[in-house]
Structure 1
Amino acid sequence: MGNSRDEPLTPAGRLFLGPHMHQISHLIMGCKNPIDTDAVKSEIANSVMIKLPRFSSLVVRNSRGGEHWRKTQVDVDRHVIVIEDPVSNEASTGDEEAVNDYVADLSVSSPLSYDKPLWEVHLLIAHNCMVFRTHHALGDGISMMSMFREWCRRADEPHQNPSTGLLGTSSLNNKNRMRELWKVVVGLFMNVVFIIEVVLRAFWVKDQRTVVSGGAGVELWPRKLATAKFRLDDMKQVKKAVADATINDVLSGIISFGLSRYLDMCSPKALRDGVQITGLAMVNLRKQPGLQELSNMIRGNSGIRWGNKFGTILFPVYYRRGGGDPLQHVKTAKKMMDQKKHSLEAHFSYYFGMCSFGPKISSWLSYRTACNTTFTISNAVGLKEEITIAGNPVTYMRVNMTGLPHAISMNILSYGGSADMQILVAKDIIPDPQVLAKCFEDALLQMKEAAAPKELGSCV
């Protein structure tokens, strides 16, 4: 029999507990000072996280097979895993590489236990690093970063919560009525095109095979993890060189340009110029995207729902032999994203892939779509100021997601004045993710170099 206070799982929650879509997110935080284990446990025990129902609930099934959240007593000691020794046996391995290797191993070898709430905190003492593991059924990136904004304090102002540094969205600002009407007509047509593409991608259409392609079962393959690091100031310089571009457009261009560079290195004559490589990009569907507004969600006095409220869009990039014009990748990405961001594609994917057919069919549809595409990309909302955890300053924040059959998943999180991309790969398909990371970093530098003359000219 069920408990009268049990809370049913949402359709999205059931999806992420389905047979094909077990996804776990890892938030990696580097600390400036040695980690005080007792202080961290005390901080967690008194944090807003423990007050959130899903972080203090078990997933239970009733006699009819229905899944519910059931409140339980949280034993913090069971959730905090302390690793005292270095996680690498190689003396030459630096902290970053050692932590990445540890998280890559967690991605396929350590599922979360269902006999406790679906989260853990791993303290890597020798590397001054914390790894927060949360099951995707608990919530999406917006929910998680909302929680961290409420929990953490600014390093420079300990009594204040940090503010957010969004990676950029654009808005329409056009007073020409005929032009707006034409946009509505084109938008309706593109909605039909995009929705048909989503359906076809789930059932029949798939990318051409390349050296970065995954497929069914690849989510179980051993992983490697590398980090590409970008300066937000460099992205802003590129953004200024392309009219009305956003930081997200620049990031999209980096993905396109970087993948072209990597494919040139690995299979220079295997692909024809212009071949489409399709990704799945995550899109927040909440009406209020900023974390400041979402902080009320935690207290329950907001119409904004905790949990998973995101859709996906098909994110095509095009291989250019030799890389092509660096800024053209941004312009092409901007044109595509301008059409997608005002369409219903993300909303359709949410209801089509998560909510309409029950968890088994929804899980199958989402899995099929992932099998027929090449990569995953997400931009998580970051924090603008440096923060502290248990009084310990955090030097970097990174995030990655596991559980999809792609051979490459890219997750970007901004923090302070930088944005780090975690690149999780199937190592039997992409054995050198550090090289791929360098391709993305070099892509931004080449874009910045191409943008420099335009900025100088505009100042004359």
Structure 2
Amino acid sequence: MEEVDGVNVPLTPAGRLFVQPKMNQIINFVLGVKNPINIDAVKSEIRSSIMLQHPRFYSLLVVDSNGREFWRRTQVNVDRHLIIRHEPLTDEPSVSDEDAVNDFLADLSVSSPLSTDKPLWEIHLLMAHNCGVFRVHHALGDGISLMSMFLSCCRRSDDPSQVPTVGGVGTSSSSYGRRERWNLGRVIKLVWYTLVFVMEFVMRSLWLKDKRTAVSGGDGVELWPRKLATAKFGIDDMKTVKNAVGHATLNDVLFGLVSCGLSKYLDIQSAKAQEGLQITGLAMVNLRPQPGLQEFSKLLSNKMGTRFGNQFGMILLPVYYHKSGADPLQFVRRAKAMIDKKKQSLEALFSYKIGDFVMSYFGPKLACLLNYRIVCNTTFTISNVIGPREEITIVGNPVTYMRVNSTSLPHAITVHMMSYAGKADMQILVAKDIIPEPHLLAKCFEDALSEMKEVAQAATK
């Protein structure tokens, strides 16, 4: 980042979008540890971390008289960014530790903006729950950048001299970005699928919207109170399902179980759901030349075409309601067929470029309006980021779980998946007046994978 006039650095177009009131987004990354937290060790790690080598983490967000946003460098006082809570989040003995932390995160998602009189990040240490919540504004970077930065501060539990390796469910782009050898047929498919998906994307931003269901959100729903539940999956179980569906990926399994889980939930909550009803989601796709996580040093130095910040597009992800009783693997097959077409298009790149163009030439108000309408006209958001393949430590403390969610959107459902050491935790953030029992929705997702696994195992016998 180069300074402008020796003082200010303008925000990127994506950064400007994420600071608009209706699209203001904060990422909440929660990390559980095995042993009590050493506050002095945490402060020391922050002060010496590679994070504070990046200008965005020691810059203030300022707005000039013309409404243009800039980064202005400042001094970081770590104590101001560290919020320590010693008492438990709840006195109710019937509330589990996990539910207490999830309730805390749900409240943060709608009612706790980051103060602009300091750089846009902070860390909450919940001492009674042995966990920390790293809150960082989306304008600073996306999930890939921030996870790469976090892992640079960690070490493997089995070999403290080594940094973690990544693997698991994979990012939405881990298979999206791969291209096979070009031929005339692939060129024709590229052009056709791009035209079809881009046209739908444009229509979604203008008037086309999903039919109302028991899980629909809409304009203003981002301000409604939230609840948060966690669905837990085993990577090996997902691989079992993947292997039962020819040439499938773990992302195909993920989107298939989301489709199956939503169908199960609608079966319970609504008797009027129509067979084949489309429920459209927004999926985030990493657009970096090397899909997945990169070393943080490469992101800082912009080596090999990678860079820190927000570099992702969106794809529309249609899933369909089907009544219970059907072969659960069919949900994965349908997801695979749809995602295979998405891989052969430039939909994600188009969404990134058109957003960049509108922001640059027409300003943040129109760019924010178009993005907001796309969210209002779809039903859910889904993203997933790979975590470490093996167990890790942070400041010498073993990590027990890693989860992520973000500020609420007009969607009534926002789903974030993160893998860690053979497990995958899905954070399901819901508008509680629309979906009052998120734990039921989480169970529907878990049951979907269990049923898929049973069918997959039976098919191999």
Q: TM-score range by the shorter chain?
A: over 0.9
- Residues 433, 354 of structure 1: alpha-carbon distance in 2 compared, 3 angstrom cutoff: farther
| Residue in structure 2 matched with residue 61 of structure 1 by the alignment | 63
| Residue in structure 1 matched with residue 364 of structure 2 by the alignment | 359
Q: Within 1, Cα distance between the matches of 2:204 and 2:23? A: 17
Gaps of 5+ in 2: none
| Residue in structure 2 matched with residue 92 of structure 1 by the alignment | 94
Contact map agreement 1:353 1:363 (CA 8 A) in 2: no
- Is 1:411 the counterpart of 2:405 in the alignment? no
| Residue in structure 2 matched with residue 390 of structure 1 by the alignment | 395
Letter in 2 for 1:219: E
- Residues 99, 317 of structure 1: alpha-carbon distance in 2 compared, 3 angstrom cutoff: same
| Residue in structure 2 matched with residue 224 of structure 1 by the alignment | 227
- Is 1:337 the counterpart of 2:342 in the alignment? no
Cα deviation per residue 1:373-420 (whole Å; 9 max; x = unaligned)?
000000112111222122111100001111311000000001110110
Deviation at 1:190, TM superposition (A): 1.3
| Residue in structure 1 matched with residue 440 of structure 2 by the alignment | 435
Deviation at 1:191, TM superposition (A): 0.9
- Is 1:182 the counterpart of 2:160 in the alignment? no
Local SS of the residue matching 2:305: coil
Q: Within 1, Cα distance between the matches of 2:133 and 2:272? A: 39
- Residues 323, 406 of structure 1: alpha-carbon distance in 2 compared, 3 angstrom cutoff: farther
| Residue in structure 1 matched with residue 238 of structure 2 by the alignment | 235
- Is 1:111 the counterpart of 2:113 in the alignment? yes
Deviation at 1:126, TM superposition (A): 0.5
Contact map agreement 1:141 1:380 (CA 8 A) in 2: yes
Deviation at 1:290, TM superposition (A): 3.2
Contact map agreement 1:352 1:362 (CA 8 A) in 2: no
Contact map agreement 2:288 2:305 (CA 8 A) in 1: no
Deviation at 1:155, TM superposition (A): 1.6
Deviation at 1:305, TM superposition (A): 1.8
Contact map agreement 1:55 1:117 (CA 8 A) in 2: yes
Local SS of the residue matching 2:22: coil
Local SS of the residue matching 1:256: helix
Scaled by the length of structure 2, the TM-score of the pair is 0.95
Alignment of 1:109-188 (within 5 A): 109-168=111-170, 169-170=174-175, 180-188=183-191
Letter in 2 for 1:436: L
| Residue in structure 1 matched with residue 407 of structure 2 by the alignment | 402
Cα deviation per residue 1:160-213 (whole Å; 9 max; x = unaligned)?
1101115244487877x8xx4323312311111100000000111000001110
Letter in 1 for 2:207: W
Deviation at 1:453, TM superposition (A): 2.3
Deviation at 1:293, TM superposition (A): 5.1
| Residue in structure 2 matched with residue 281 of structure 1 by the alignment | 283
Contact map agreement 2:168 2:235 (CA 8 A) in 1: no
Choose 387-396 or 286-295, whichever is displaced more. 286-295
Q: Within 1, Cα distance between the matches of 2:417 and 2:258? A: 11
| Residue in structure 2 matched with residue 261 of structure 1 by the alignment | 264
Percent identical pairs in the alignment equals 61
Q: Within 2, Cα distance between the matches of 1:323 and 1:412? A: 27
Deviation at 1:329, TM superposition (A): 0.3
| Residue in structure 1 matched with residue 40 of structure 2 by the alignment | 38
Q: Within 1, Cα distance between the matches of 2:392 and 2:180? A: 39
- Residues 173, 17 of structure 1: alpha-carbon distance in 2 compared, 3 angstrom cutoff: closer
Q: Within 2, Cα distance between the matches of 1:244 and 1:146? A: 29
1:191 aligned to 172, 185, 194, which one?
194
| Residue in structure 1 matched with residue 207 of structure 2 by the alignment | 204
- Residues 321, 149 of structure 1: alpha-carbon distance in 2 compared, 3 angstrom cutoff: same
Local SS of the residue matching 2:233: strand
Local SS of the residue matching 1:20: helix
Q: Within 1, Cα distance between the matches of 2:284 and 2:189? A: 23
Cα deviation per residue 1:440-459 (whole Å; 9 max; x = unaligned)?
00100000001012223xxx
Contact map agreement 1:15 1:354 (CA 8 A) in 2: no
Contact map agreement 2:156 2:392 (CA 8 A) in 1: yes
| Matched positions, count | 451
Letter in 2 for 1:40: V
1:78 aligned to 77, 80, 87, which one?
80
| Residue in structure 1 matched with residue 8 of structure 2 by the alignment | 6
Deviation at 1:227, TM superposition (A): 0.2
Contact map agreement 2:263 2:324 (CA 8 A) in 1: yes
Local SS of the residue matching 2:21: coil
Q: Within 2, Cα distance between the matches of 1:223 and 1:187? A: 40
Q: Within 1, Cα distance between the matches of 2:180 and 2:196? A: 24
Scaled by the length of structure 1, the TM-score of the pair is 0.95
| Residue in structure 2 matched with residue 249 of structure 1 by the alignment | 252
| Residue in structure 2 matched with residue 448 of structure 1 by the alignment | 453
Letter in 2 for 1:342: Q
Q: Within 2, Cα distance between the matches of 1:306 and 1:410? A: 24
Q: Within 2, Cα distance between the matches of 1:80 and 1:401? A: 19
Local SS of the residue matching 1:308: coil
- Residues 3, 398 of structure 1: alpha-carbon distance in 2 compared, 3 angstrom cutoff: same
Letter in 2 for 1:71: R
- Is 1:425 the counterpart of 2:430 in the alignment? yes
Q: Within 1, Cα distance between the matches of 2:113 and 2:296? A: 29
Letter in 2 for 1:303: G
Q: Within 1, Cα distance between the matches of 2:14 and 2:294? A: 24
Contact map agreement 1:212 1:407 (CA 8 A) in 2: yes
Choose 290-299 or 77-86, whichever is displaced more. 290-299
| Residue in structure 2 matched with residue 348 of structure 1 by the alignment | 350
Q: Within 1, Cα distance between the matches of 2:458 and 2:138? A: 44
Contact map agreement 2:298 2:307 (CA 8 A) in 1: no
Gaps of 5+ in 1: none
Cα deviation per residue 1:93-147 (whole Å; 9 max; x = unaligned)?
1110100000101111111000001111001110001111011001001100110
Deviation at 1:300, TM superposition (A): 4.8
Letter in 1 for 2:12: T
